[in-house]
Chains A and B, each alone.
Chain A
């Protein structure tokens, strides 16, 4: 094979693979530069800056951007996260239970809440008082937001935990049982702690997803001291008829989400090395 003479066979490309790669790359650069030139020439930079990055409007966002909006975003997210962590673990254990009805309940829950848009859940929560007269979600808007995020997050977190629980080798349970631990005791002392360690990276990603979904609190009709970043940005933007506050809110999200994303992939990498 290697010693075949280099005559051009019919039907074969005339360019060597290396040459072809060069041509392809040159074309990609040309397209990119053309696109950039078009954007620079045709975009109305003054108008864009005026609408999306107006310094004096941005200044209006302070200090409430941090003291109210970011604070509330964190409250909703952390609350929803804790809720989804606990419910997710419970669902995962039910999903893997020997008792068939528990498995059914968990499967139904997980499928429904992963299959519906999170927004729909939030809209339903606003109708809870109508459906259940006399019932109020505790802690007002905070409670409603945390409930919505928790219910949705639990379905995803349950799948994360299920993968973690299944990844703990069977020998671990056997060792625990052979020491006289009951099935429950073995789960609690041996299996669950290991599962939780394993799922730290995907759980960090879950946290980031919840942080972004906390913007759906907007649809609970919150106001005043309850607003989180998205609602805060949207309200200010309407007030000044200018999109700058939404940009500011966006940047604030990124300040939190990007480092967390890096953290998750670092943790993932470290886990990979330890294996």
Chain B
């Protein structure tokens, strides 16, 4: 049996009485890129955040590389170390330079030496195209640059999979491309990625699978050409119509 990168089994999440995830079953294989699309409030972020337990699932199981992370005995910090996460609002540490942002967890969590952490940090900042901004504070960077620093920060931990929660939604339109280019490159290198996005072009070109969520359930799960190009369900069709033709 091959080990899935991510496996969700009958995942339920309640916020109080509000059931936000209503039994999600889903797998992501090693090296796959899976894009999650769906209307606002459908539970996409919650789903993503259940994978690294930023939200505790109410019921059901989450496996990451075969390890059940919902097991109360599991060392969640150790699990999170292997899961990179990129947020819509970047969440860079504003009191640290770009370089320090990428170094700090390497030093404090992986116990790398300062020198080693710096080498790794510079490599990753170069890789995402912000190597020249090492000494800038997040407040001095554009949104696109900040998001790329945030990606470098996650990559520096050598994660085996990456979660992206609408990484380009807070960006000015002209900066979206830079971030998507970096993500595309990561995908080509074989990184396992679970991406919540509204970028249909990206999903179509890069994703191995597209998952459409609505109302806390997975409505459709399949190849991008099928889910985006030829959706089976009326809800998917209506959503795509709204996303692709917002002016109507």
* A interface residues with partner B (beta carbon < 8 Å): 169, 171-172, 174-182, 185, 189-190, 193-194, 197, 274
Whether B93 lies near A180 (C-beta < 8 A) is: no
Docked complex Cα distance between A179 and B91 (Å): 12
B108–A178 touching, CB < 8 Å:
no
Interface of A is mostly: helix
Task: Report which of B87, B110, B139 forms a contact with A171, defined as CB distance below 8 A.
Answer: B87
Question: How many positions in chain B have a CB within 8 Å of any CB in the partner chain?
Answer: 26
Residues on B with beta carbons closer than 8 Å to the beta carbon of A197: 95
Shortest Cβ gap from B230 to chain A (Å): 36
Chain B residues with CB under 8 Å of chain A are: 52, 54, 77-78, 80-81, 83-85, 87, 89, 91-95, 104-105, 108-110, 139, 150, 153-154, 157
26 contacts between A and B (CB under 8 A): A169-B89, A169-B91, A171-B87, A171-B89, A171-B91, A174-B87, A175-B87, A175-B91, A175-B93, A177-B80, A178-B83, A178-B84, A178-B85, A179-B81, A179-B109, A179-B153, A180-B77, A180-B78, A180-B157, A181-B77, A189-B104, A189-B108, A194-B93, A194-B94, A197-B95, A274-B139
Contact partner of A172 among B83, B93, B109, B153, CB < 8 A?
A: B93
Find chain A residues with CB under 8 A from B80 CB. 177-180
On whether the beta carbons of B87 and A180 are closer than 8 Å, the reply is no
Instruction: Tell me how far the C-beta of B234 lies from the nearest C-beta in chain A, rounded to whole angstroms.
Output: 35
Please indicate the chain B residues that have their CB under 8 angstroms from the CB of A172 in the complex: 91, 93
Task: State the Cβ distance, A171 to closest chain B Cβ, in Å.
Answer: 4
Q: Is the CB of A177 within 8 A of B54?
A: yes
Given contacts A172-B93, A194-B94, 9 further A-B contacts (CB under 8 A): A171-B91, A174-B54, A175-B91, A177-B54, A178-B154, A179-B154, A180-B78, A190-B93, A274-B139
